[in-house]
Chain A
Amino acid sequence: EPEVTQTPSHQVTQMGQEVILRCVPISNHLYFYWYRQILGQKVEFLVSFYNNEISEKSEIFDDQFSVERPDGSNFTLKIRSTKLEDSAMYFCASITDRISEKLFFGSGTQLSVL
């Protein structure tokens, strides 16, 4: 089965530092997402991306966050100045089209902000 690939699997950073989380969605997929899951909490939607622009974002996705698809394959999430509360597992996901039911998740990046 095709896979969504995320790197790195773990990222440790100091508070206030910038981090970039990387994802390679499945090649023929059109919609891309970032979700996060704080330890012990539910999976929360951050942002969706289609046709090289943000299609929807949650209230979590504030000015500290940005997404890019710089080269047509990678899909990145940047956190400009990390806070302790940004510590979480960040999942990238992609889907073929808007009517498809199956969302494919990457294995996640565990971000720890110290």
Chain B
Amino acid sequence: RKEVEQDPGPFNVPEGATVAFNCTYSNSASQSFFWYRQDCRKEPKLLMSVYSSGNEDGRFTAQLNRASQYISLLIRDSKLSDSATYLCVRKISGNTPLVFGKGTRLSVIA
């Protein structure tokens, strides 16, 4: 059973659009959640952490729903530079390793 599931996409959106990705997880013991961004054949980079209260960083908003076991990422006013794969990531606790979803590919088109 997959631990972190994401819609692989691709999501093709015009510049300026708002786009939302969802991710579901199966391990209810998971404590921490993150969104990472990965450009083609590059390393993953932390985009933002996800909290139950929701958090916002500029055009990006992340939400966690523990009852339904899903995480979301909303990108407003999409830029061409937002084109990448967005990885949903969970960690159970402390020093346990990160578990990555397969990622959702976003292409922002001019």
Residues of A within 8 A of B (CB): 31, 33, 41-45, 48, 50, 55-56, 58, 89, 91, 98-99, 101-103, 105-108, 110
Contact = CB atoms under 8 A, between A and B. Distances in A.
A112 to B, nearest CB: 13
B45 interface: yes
A55 B96 CA distance: 9
Given A44-B100, A89-B41, A101 B32 contact: yes
Contacts of B96: 56
B8 to A, nearest CB: 10
B43 A48 contact: no
B44 A50 contact: no
Contacts, number: 47
Nearest to B99: A45
Contact of A43 (B34, B95, B100): B100
Nearest to B94: A98
A89 B43 CA distance: 9
A42 B100 CA distance: 7
Nearest to A100: B95
Interface in B12-66: 32, 34, 38, 41-46, 49
Contact of B102 (A41, A48, A101): A41
B49 A101 contact: yes
A98 B95 contact: yes
Interface of B: 32, 34, 38, 41-46, 49, 87, 94-103
Contact of B95 (A42, A48, A89, A91): A48
Contact of B98 (A41, A98, A103, A107): A103
A45 B43 contact: no
Given A43-B44, A101-B49, A107-B43, 17 more contacts: A33-B97, A42-B101, A43-B38, A43-B87, A44-B100, A45-B98, A48-B97, A55-B95, A56-B97, A91-B43, A101-B34, A101-B46, A103-B98, A105-B45, A108-B41, A108-B42, A110-B41
A30 to B, nearest CB: 9
A29 B102 CA distance: 27
